[in-house]
Amino acid sequence: MTTKIIDGKLIAKKVKDEIKTEVAGLIDNNDSTPHLVAIIVGDDPASQTYVASKEKAARSVGITSSVYKFPTDISEEELLNTIDFINNDDEINGLIVQLPLPEHISVSKVIESIDPEKDVDGFHPINVGKMVIGQPSFISATPAGVLELLKRYKIETEGKHCVVLGRSNIVGSPLSILMSKKSYPGNSTVTVCHSKTKDLSSIIKQADILICAIGSPQFVKADMIKPGAVVIDVGIHRIPADNEKGYKIVGDVDFEDVRRETSYITPVPGGVGPMTIAMLLSNTLLSFKKKHDS
Ligand code: GUN
């Protein structure tokens, strides 16, 4: 079987190049530029890395980027006041609060305090609700990145059986909804699997499109796959390896084992991962345009 490797790094670069061109045009026609603010609380190393990457990517396409860093012991009230301040700043188009947050801060209170018009993470219940009923909204970056890959590779989704492994608010749940929508990519028949699903292997075997977001390294093996399936791997894990670094990055799918059974497959790293930041920037540009078109 000929397998096509979906090159997320390449597509992310294309998306960012398109954003860069559009932002350059906006700068010529406006006296303001899109502006993304990230709030980070505490010193979780992974969060620091993610936010630094988002900041660098934003700058690389001409989007202004600011980061507000707060110590772990910031009070919920002070954080909410800061969000309120940013909500009211007309020059700011996108606001993300990097998760996780310390335990004394309510994630839902924080997300609900963000102006839905600036919620470029697409986590606010207003944006989630609009997505569910098919109204224009900010779609979370990772699900949006998966849809963009399907679109750019012109992968047929209509009438296909799409199996989604995982039901998280950030990935599995929105993707299961989006893939069932009357749109492209979409129009699929969707099955959502989770920790209580019985006979998981036989359901995976029925998938024309398999989206994996279960958080279990190399869980999906070749014998579970329907020959010719499209496999999208959203997982990212660091596992011990016999190399210089002592580790390697893998997904939820055992890539080397599974690839030969598929028509299209995303690698990890270099598949869905690079798309996430590209789509966050795309949402920030969209937010800017919505404000300036109205
Ligand atoms: N933590 C892990 N992924 C994300 C994300 O996409 N957005 C935010 N705000 N925090 C995260």
CB 165 within 8 A of CB 214: yes
> For the chain, what is the radius of gyration of the CA atoms?
19
Tell me which residue has its CA closest to atom 3 in ligand 1: 99
Q: From ligand 1's centre to the CA of 51, what distance in Å?
A: 9
- Per-residue pLDDT tens digits for 213-231: 999 999 999 999 999 999 9
Average pLDDT over every residue of 181-193 = 98
Instruction: Tell me which of 54, 118, 160, 226 is the catalytic residue.
Output: 54
State the pairing for strand pair 161-165/209-212: parallel
- Say whether pLDDT at 294 is over 70: no
Quickly state the pLDDT bin for 271 (edges 50, 70, 90): very high
Whether a cis peptide bond, with omega within 30° of 0, leads into 174 is: no
C-alpha dihedral sign at 270, 183, 189, 120 = positive
Residue 233 DSSP SS3: strand
291 catalytic per annotation: no
Quickly state the pLDDT bin for 242 (edges 50, 70, 90): very high
**Can 121 be counted among the known catalytic residues?**
yes
Residue 197 confidence (pLDDT) above 80:
yes
Q: How far apart are CA 149 and CA 130, in angstroms?
A: 22
**For the residues 127-153, what does the mean pLDDT come to?**
98
- Judging by DSSP bridges, how do beta strands 229-233 and 262-265 pair with one another? parallel
pLDDT at 292: 87
What is the mean predicted confidence (pLDDT) over 47-56? 96
Q: In what helix (H) or strand (E) does residue 135 lie, and over which residues does it extend?
A: none
Given the residues 7, 119, 121, 233, the one annotated as active site: 121
Average pLDDT over residues 182-188: 98
In the prediction, which pLDDT does 51 show?
Answer: 97
What domains are defined for the chain?
Answer: 30-115 (3.40.50.10860), 141-273 (3.40.50.720)
Q: How far is CA 130 from CA 133, 156, 189, 261, in A?
A: 5, 25, 21, 37
**The pLDDT value given to residue 32:** 86
Average per-residue pLDDT in the chain? 97
Render pLDDT for 79-111 as a digit per residue (tens, 0 to 9): 999 999 999 999 999 999 999 999 999 999 999
Residue nearest to atom 7 of ligand 1 (CA): 98
Closest-lying ligand 1 atom to the alpha carbon of residue 141: 6
pLDDT value for 293:
81
Ligand 1 is surrounded, with C-beta below 6 A, by: 96-99, 121, 141
Q: C-alpha distances in angstroms, 178 versus 133, 187, 190, 274? A: 10, 9, 10, 20
For 11-31, what is each residue's pLDDT tens digit? Answer: 999 999 999 999 999 887 777
